[in-house]
């Protein structure tokens, strides 16, 4: 039974879609131009930007007196309120499990926040376990986090695959660990020269299909 190591944000769960939904309403309340949502998403950088930095940027751009801590909370609550587990993603995880794969989520982030979203969306029902970087004390692309995931599931890394949308964290981490990988390209082109995914897919369902075929 090999491991299926899966990223969470924009792989298992559509974090960008959730942020967009919150951001559209938030910006509308400020009477900001509709196209400012593109600025917000670009600055967020798929969650790589620290939440406090994002809050401060919003305050400065719109000259808000709202305390940063209140904006951080609003962003977190907005994402949580708009995040849903796609039923087709749940089905794909069930298929992988039935085929003998053990799905374990590996995510960079804060433990409390990520575990809340895992349980809130019901994702916990489809995972054997998960490893969050804050609790683990190591983050992707350090290959040790994948080793910890294997230990958590009481398995070896033999035959494991990594699925994720992050070129550096997910695919770079997989390459460093000597694992095969599927990159969720989300319409992007692969530009990294140091390493490359085993294959690319346009979404989680296609990615899991590629793993099963591989």
**Structure-block tokens of residue 38:** 């593109």
Whole-structure pTM value: 0.93
In the chain (214 residues long), the average pLDDT of successive 10-residue segments reads 96 97 97 97 94 96 96 96 97 97 96 95 97 97 97 95 97 98 96 96 97 93
80: left (phi over 0), alpha (psi -120 to 50) or beta: alpha
Residue 41 burial class via C-beta count within 10 angstroms: exposed 0-12, middle 13-18, buried 19 and up: middle
Report how far residue 30's alpha carbon sits from residue 13's, in angstroms, rounded to the nearest whole number: 28
The total of other beta-carbon atoms located within 10 Å of residue 24's CB is 15
CA torsion angle for 80, 82, 87, 93 (degrees, to 10)?
-30
Per-residue pLDDT, 70: 97
Domain 3-14+84-213 fold is Rossmann fold (3.40.50)
Q: Of the candidates 163, 148, 154, which has an alpha carbon nearest to the alpha carbon of residue 203? A: 163
- 145-151: Cβ within 8 A, 24+ apart: 145/106, 145/173, 146/5, 146/106, 146/173, 146/174, 146/177, 146/179, 147/177, 149/3, 149/5, 149/104, 149/106, 150/3, 150/104
> Domain map of the chain by residue range?
3-14+84-213, 15-82
pLDDT for residue 1? 83
Report whether 147 contacts 114 (CB < 8 A): no
């Amino acid at each position: 039974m090999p491991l299926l190591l899966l990223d969470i944000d924009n792989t298992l769960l559509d974090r960008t879609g959730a942020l967009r939904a919150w951001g559209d309403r938030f910006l509308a309340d400020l009477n900001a131009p509709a196209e400012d949502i593109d600025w917000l998403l670009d600055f967020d950088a798929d969650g790589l930007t620290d939440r406090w930095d994002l809050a401060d940027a919003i305050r400065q751009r719109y000259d808000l007196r709202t305390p940063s801590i209140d904006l951080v909370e609003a962003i977190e609550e907005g994402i949580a309120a708009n995040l849903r587990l796609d039923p087709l993603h749940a089905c794909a995880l069930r298929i992988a499990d039935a085929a003998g794969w053990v799905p374990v989520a590996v995510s960079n982030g804060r433990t409390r926040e990520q575990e809340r979203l895992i349980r809130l969306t019901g994702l916990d029902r489809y995972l054997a376990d998960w490893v969050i970087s804050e609790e683990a004390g190591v983050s992707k692309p350090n290959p040790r986090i994948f080793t910890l995931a294997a230990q958590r599931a009481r398995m070896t890394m033999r035959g494991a695959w990594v699925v994720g949308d992050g070129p550096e964290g997910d695919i770079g981490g997989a390459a460093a660990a000597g694992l095969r990988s599927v990159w969720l390209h989300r319409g992007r082109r692969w530009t990294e020269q140091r390493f490359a995914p085993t294959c690319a897919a346009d979404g989680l369902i296609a990615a899991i299909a590629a793993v099963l075929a591989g």
